[in-house]
Structure 1
Amino acid sequence: MYESLTRQQVSWEAVVALDGADPARLPAPLATDDRVRVLPLPRPVGAACARNLALNDVRTDYTNWADDDDEFSDHAMAVRLGVLEATGVGWCAGYSQDVHADGSTTLWRCPTPPGRHEAGDVWTYWKKPEDTIPIGPTTILARTDLVRAAPMGGPVQGEDYVAALGVTSLAPGILVPVPVYRYRKHPGQMTRQDAYDALEASARRHAWNFGRSLRAALSRLEPSDVSEAV
């Protein structure tokens, strides 16, 4: 992740949340880079809490969530920042790629189509909770004030689904048909652990209901009316 940040074509800062890990284990290039600030947490608190606490230390106008075992494409920040500055929308997202052990990649086109989307519309592309999520949470570069208003959700997994629906429900945005984030597939991924599937269905339903209810509240509709409109 750090190496991919150094290849970006725009200036950046990173806040690294150490979820109970020993700060001495931070790789030297990160520890000596003035663009990287570290938030050591005294005990493990989980991904959602660690990310939300790190959000307190963000100083940039825009924020992008990221995991330490993944990477951004070289043009990820420049492409989306250009769209944000040119249009004034609240967020800009792209496609993602899975990176396999042999180095090959598979492109994932999210259900949300390219183009501009008004606040709340992204949720409409998530027809049922068991379907794939409508947009990649880590592909979203958004105004920091929006991210603070819609941070990571509370569940131990699927918290990023909640964050993505929150941000896209609070402001219009644009999806560009360009891969901006690369997920490295490996055995240590949380999604590869034995217990992951036990809660995934419930986490998806929680996020789906959150997006449905938030869209209804912001449009002053009953949740049932939102479902019927979709």
Structure 2
Amino acid sequence: MSHNDQPAVAVITPTGLSPSRLPFLVELYDSLCAQEDVTWEWIVAPNGPNADPGLIPRSITRDPRVRLCARPDPGPAPARNTALNYVRAPRCAFADDDDRIPPRGLAVRNERALATGLRWVAGWSADWDPEAGSLSTWMCPTPVGRHAAGDVWTHWPDPQASKPPLGHCMLLTDTRLAQAVGHGGLHKGEDYSYVMGVVARSAGELLPEVVYHRRVHPGQWTAEDDYRNQAEFDARTHAWLKGRAERELQTESAWQRVA
């Protein structure tokens, strides 16, 4: 693929460029280079006062498939939203800076999106522990198969008891849909809002294939003792209410069209 060709898929990664996580970022890049049967672009979004783009290895920044979208203000939500401004590909996905994508992770979703015309296609996520050499698939509450707009929300009965029934890194989404929905400007849980917006606006499908590896390590934000605080539960409730409202509005619009 030449520099001017449009890639099939964009991957967006917000990062604070913490020195301890730079090796993980390199591993994510390596996993992108190992992708099979798909062309891609990677938009890296350094954010925060200490996120110096100069810390990124030149082996990455010299790759014409990689672009930097650096912003001094902290937070993954604005970083992800701003990065969407620079997407050229018709479909996009999000990956965290400490994770990786298996070799067919992008292609299997992209091929299904092309075959069906669906605006979102997801696959399973697996917890990956490099130290233990283990990979454990998360059997999410959302069933495998097609889902009408708004139906994924029905598999999330209690936002205080669990996160959404689908993870945002599991999704490959039509870029226009991603731009229409965006990530809520929350301190945490902005990805919950994104998921509920995407699956509410359009029909999609969950494939019975692992498309994402979520790294298990001591430095995970979600592993911190105070992660499940009031801000976390407020974000869950915000996303749950968003999903319910979107579903109800879809139903009302359908009735108005019939009337």
TM range (shorter): over 0.9
Higher mean displacement: 200-209 or 12-21:
200-209
Instruction: Sort the Cα spacing of 1:201 and 1:217 in 2 relative to 1 into closer, same or farther, 3 A.
Output: same
Which residue pairs with 1:106 in the alignment?
136
Counterpart residue number, 2:252? 220
Instruction: State the 1:7 CA deviation.
Output: 0.9
- Does the 8 Å contact 1:110/1:133 carry over to 2? no
* Aligned counterparts of 1:142 and 1:65: Cα–Cα separation in 2: 9
Partner of 1:13: 41
Match of 2:126 among 93, 97, 102: 97
1:55 maps to which residue?
84
* Cα distance between partner residues in 2 of 1:62 and 1:88: 12
1:185 CA displacement = 1.0
Q: CA deviation at 1:162?
A: 0.8
Cα displacement (A) at 1:97? 0.5
* 1:193 corresponds to which of 224, 227, 230: 224
Q: Which runs of 5+ in 2 are unaligned?
A: 1-27, 254-259
Determine the structure 2 residue equivalent to 1:178.
209
Q: Residue 40 of structure 1: SS of its match in structure 2? A: coil
The 3-state SS of whatever aligns with 1:92 is strand
Given candidates 123, 147, 166, the residue that maps to 1:117 is 147
Per the TM alignment, residue 13 of structure 1 is displaced from its structure 2 partner at its CA by 0.3
CA distance in 1, matches of 2:170, 2:227: 22
2:163–2:236 contact (8 Å) kept in structure 1: no
Residue number in structure 2 paired with 1:148: 179
* Cα shift at 1:204: 1.0
**Structure 2 partner of 1:205:** 237
CA RMSD of aligned residues (A): 1.2
Structure 1 spans left out of the alignment, 5+ residues: 222-230
Question: C-alpha distance in 2, partners of 1:119/1:190?
Answer: 31
Shift of 1:200: 2.0
- Residues paired across the two proteins, number: 220
SS, match of residue 220 in structure 1:
helix
- The code of the aligned residue for 2:192 comes to Y
Q: Which ranges of 4 or more aligned residues in structure 1 deviate by more than 6 Å?
A: none
User: Which range is displaced more, 130-139 or 89-98?
Assistant: 130-139
Q: What's the offset of the Cα at 1:115?
A: 0.7
Distance in 2 (CA, whole Å) between partners of 1:81 and 1:61 is 10
Please report how far the alpha carbon of residue 164 of structure 1 lies from its aligned counterpart in structure 2 after TM superposition: 0.8
Give the AA of the match of 2:44. Answer: V
Taking structure 1 as the reference length, the TM-score comes to 0.92
The superposition leaves residues 88-134 of structure 1 with CA deviations (integer Å, 9 ceiling, x where unpaired) of 01110010011123221111011111111111111111011123421
Cα deviation digits, residues 152-211 of structure 1 (max 9, x gap):
112211110110111111111111010100110112111122331112222211111111
Aligned to 2:16: none
Instruction: State the SS of the aligned residue for 2:218.
Output: coil
Q: How does 1:33-72 map to 2 (within 5 A)?
A: 33-41=63-71, 43-72=72-101
Q: Percent identity?
A: 45
Deviation per residue, 1:10-39 (Å, 9 max, x gap):
100011001031111012221110000001
Q: Secondary structure at the match of 2:228?
A: helix
